[in-house]
Structure 1
Amino acid sequence: MITLYLSFSFLILGVYMITRYFFKIPFRTFLFEGKRPDFRKFAIYFAWYFTALILYLLVDVALHPQAFTLNFDPIPWLGVLVVTAPLVLFQSAAEEILFRGYMYRMFRSLRGSAFWSILVTSLIFALLHGFNPEMLHYGIFGPLYYLLVALFLGIVAYHTNGLAAPIGIHFATNMFNTSIWGYGTSTLENMGLQNVVYRHTLDMPFAFFGIFVIVISYVAFQLFKHKRNRS
C-alpha cells in the first residue's frame, strides 16, 4: 500500500512539469491560484463529509445488521492509522490536483464553460475509477457512483473556488474506506488495513443512494445560500 500510494508522486510531478515548464506558470500559483492554502476550508469540508459518511454507516448498520461484523482492535488500528493517514492525504491531494485542478482548468480554457469542464473531467474520473474490475462487479452502479462523486467534487471546487474543499472531501472518503469500514471484494482488503467494522458484501445501489442524498443536500444548501445572499 505504501508503494502504491507513493506512486502518486509521479502524478504530481507530471502536473508540475507541464505547468512550470510548458505553460510557464509557477506551481504554487497554479496550485493555490495565487492565494495561500485554505486549511480552514479543508478542515471544515473534511469534518462535514466525514460526519456524513459516519451517519450513512449508522443507517446502513441499522437497516442491514446481518451484513456487518465488528472488527475493532484499537492498538493495531491506531498504528495503521498513523502510517496510512499521510499517505491517503497525499493520494487524495494528487488526484484532486490532476482532475479538479489541471484537467478542469484545461477544459475550461478550451470551451470557457464551467459546466462543460466539470462534466468532461467527471466522465474521465468515472472511466478510470468506475470501470475497474472491483466496481464492474456491481454492474452499472459502480461507474454511476464514481460519476456522481466526481460531479459532486467538481461542483464543490467551483463553489469554493479552489482545491482545499474537494481535497478535504476526497481525504474524508478515503480515510473512511481505509480505517472505518472494509468490505468484501475491496482491492484494499489484503493490504494490512485495520477497520472498525467489516461489511461482508458492498451494497452498491445503497451506497449510490447515500451519495445521491449528500449531493442533493449540498446543492440545495448552495441554492439556499445564493438566494439568501441575493435578498
Structure 2
Amino acid sequence: MYIAQALRYRYSFWRYIVGIIIVAIGITLGQVPWTFAVFMKEGFAMFEMPQTELLSSLESNFSLFLLLLSYAVGLAALFFAVKYLHEQPILTLSTTRKSLDVKRVMFSFLITAILIVGGIFIGYLLEPESFQWNFNLVPFLILLVIAVVLIPIQTSFEEYLFRGYLMQGIGAFAKNKWIPLLITSLIFGGLHIANPEVASYGYFIMASYIGIGLLLGIITLMDEGLELALGFHAANNLFIALLLTSENTAFQTHSIFKDISTPEILGWEVFIEILIIYPVVLGIFAKKYGWSNWKNKLFGKVEKPETLKLSEEP
C-alpha cells in the first residue's frame, strides 16, 4: 500500500527522471559553499588532493556544517519535485497513516541510540587501546548544535530519496515490492563507495552499507511508512558523529572518542551487524507493531488503487 500511493498521482517515467535531475542540481548547488571555502584555502591544489585530505582541510565543525547544508538544499529540491512535478502530497511519500507518527520516529530513534551507545561501550571494554579521549568542551558543544539540527535533515533526505521517492517510483513500474527494495538498497550502498572508509577498510565494508539499506527498506515496507527508518537513520548518524570519529571516516568530528586502531577488513563486525543486530532490530519492531504477512509486504504485487486522483498512465 505504501508504494501504491504513488499511483494516485502523476507517476510517468519522465517525471522521475526530471525529479532526480532536480535533486542532483539541488545537491550540487548545496555543495557550492563547502567547495568555495576549500578553494579559498587550498586553491587549485584541491583538485589533486585525496578525499581524506579534502575533508580535513577545513576546521571540522565548519566543514561538517557546510557539508550537511547541501542535504538541506537537496531535501528542499526533492520536496519541490514531489509537490509540483508529481503533484503528490509529501505525507503520501512519508507514510500511509493520516499523519506522520512522531512516536514511531522517537521509538526507533531510542532503540538505535541504545544499540549505538552500547556497541561503542562494548568496543571500548574489549579494546580500550583503540580509543583515544578526544573531548574538548567548546568544539563539542558547537558540534552538538550542528549535529542535532542538521544530521536529521541529512538522514531524512536520504530516507525520503531512497526509501520514499525511488522506492515508490521503481515500485510503480516494477509492479512488485522486492525489486524496488533490492535496487534502492544497492544504489544506497553503491553511493557510499567513494567514502574514505571503503579505501581504508576494503570493499567488504560495502556489505554493511547495502545491509543497512535493506534493513531500512524492509522496515519501511513492513510498517507502511518511513517513520521507523527516519528514526533509525537519524540516531545512527547522530550518535556516531557525537561519540566516535576517525581519520578514515567521511565525517570527522570533535567527538568524545577517536578511533586510532589500524584499519583492517572488519569481516566479523559486518557479520555481527547484518546477521545478528539487524534481525534483532526487526524483531523488536515486529513485536512492537504487530507485523504480519511478511511475504506479501516484501514480495507481493503493487496494485493500482481503484480510484486514481489523476488518470495518467506511465
TM-score with structure 2 setting the length: 0.65
Aligned CA distance change for structure 1 residues 226 and 34 (closer, same or farther; 3 Å): closer
Q: Please tell me whether the aligned partners of residues 131 and 258 of structure 2 are also in contact (alpha carbons under 8 angstroms).
A: yes
Aligned CA distance change for structure 1 residues 22 and 79 (closer, same or farther; 3 Å): closer
Q: Which residue of 2 aligns with 1:4?
A: 67
TM-superposed CA distance for 1:113, in Å, is 2.1
TM-superposed CA distance for 1:76, in Å, is 3.5
Q: Which residue of 1 aligns with 2:178?
A: 115
TM-superposed CA distance for 1:210, in Å, is 4.1
- 1:89 aligned onto 2:152: yes
- 1:162-187 CA-to-partner distances (Å, cap 9, x unmatched) read 11211111111111221011123123
Question: Between the two proteins, what is the percent identity of the paired residues?
Answer: 25
- 1:146 aligned onto 2:233: no
Aligned CA distance change for structure 1 residues 48 and 139 (closer, same or farther; 3 Å): same
- 1:157 aligned onto 2:214: no
- 1:71 aligned onto 2:134: yes
TM-superposed CA distance for 1:8, in Å, is 1.3
Q: Which structure has the larger Rg? A: 2
Aligned partner of residue 129 in structure 1, secondary structure: coil
TM-superposed CA distance for 1:226, in Å, is 4.7
Structure 1 segment 199-210 matched on structure 2, within 5 A:
199-201=259-261, 204-210=266-272
In the alignment, the residues of structure 2 paired with residue 62 and residue 214 of structure 1 have an alpha-carbon distance, to the nearest angstrom, of 19
In the alignment, the residues of structure 1 paired with residue 73 and residue 241 of structure 2 have an alpha-carbon distance, to the nearest angstrom, of 22
Aligned partner of residue 19 in structure 1, secondary structure: helix
TM-superposed CA distance for 1:10, in Å, is 3.2
TM-superposed CA distance for 1:140, in Å, is 2.4
Q: Which residue of 1 aligns with 2:125?
A: 62
Higher mean alpha-carbon deviation, 145-154 vs 209-218, is at 209-218
Q: Which runs of 5+ in 1 are unaligned?
A: none
Q: CA RMSD in A?
A: 2.2
Q: Please tell me whether the aligned partners of residues 109 and 234 of structure 2 are also in contact (alpha carbons under 8 angstroms).
A: yes
Aligned CA distance change for structure 1 residues 144 and 47 (closer, same or farther; 3 Å): same
- 1:50 aligned onto 2:79: no
Aligned CA distance change for structure 1 residues 28 and 221 (closer, same or farther; 3 Å): closer
Question: 2:273 pairs with 194, 199, 211, which one?
Answer: 211
Dislocated runs of 4+, deviation >6 Å: none
Aligned partner of residue 87 in structure 2, secondary structure: coil
Q: Please tell me whether the aligned partners of residues 136 and 143 of structure 1 are also in contact (alpha carbons under 8 angstroms).
A: no
Number of paired residues?
Answer: 224
In the alignment, the residues of structure 1 paired with residue 285 and residue 105 of structure 2 have an alpha-carbon distance, to the nearest angstrom, of 17
Question: 2:244 pairs with 181, 184, 190, which one?
Answer: 181
TM-superposed CA distance for 1:222, in Å, is 5.7
Aligned partner of residue 130 in structure 1, secondary structure: coil
Aligned partner of residue 7 in structure 1, secondary structure: helix
TM-superposed CA distance for 1:220, in Å, is 4.1
* Equivalent AA in structure 1 for residue 109 of structure 2: F
In the alignment, the residues of structure 2 paired with residue 65 and residue 161 of structure 1 have an alpha-carbon distance, to the nearest angstrom, of 41
* Equivalent AA in structure 2 for residue 184 of structure 1: E
In the alignment, the residues of structure 1 paired with residue 239 and residue 284 of structure 2 have an alpha-carbon distance, to the nearest angstrom, of 24
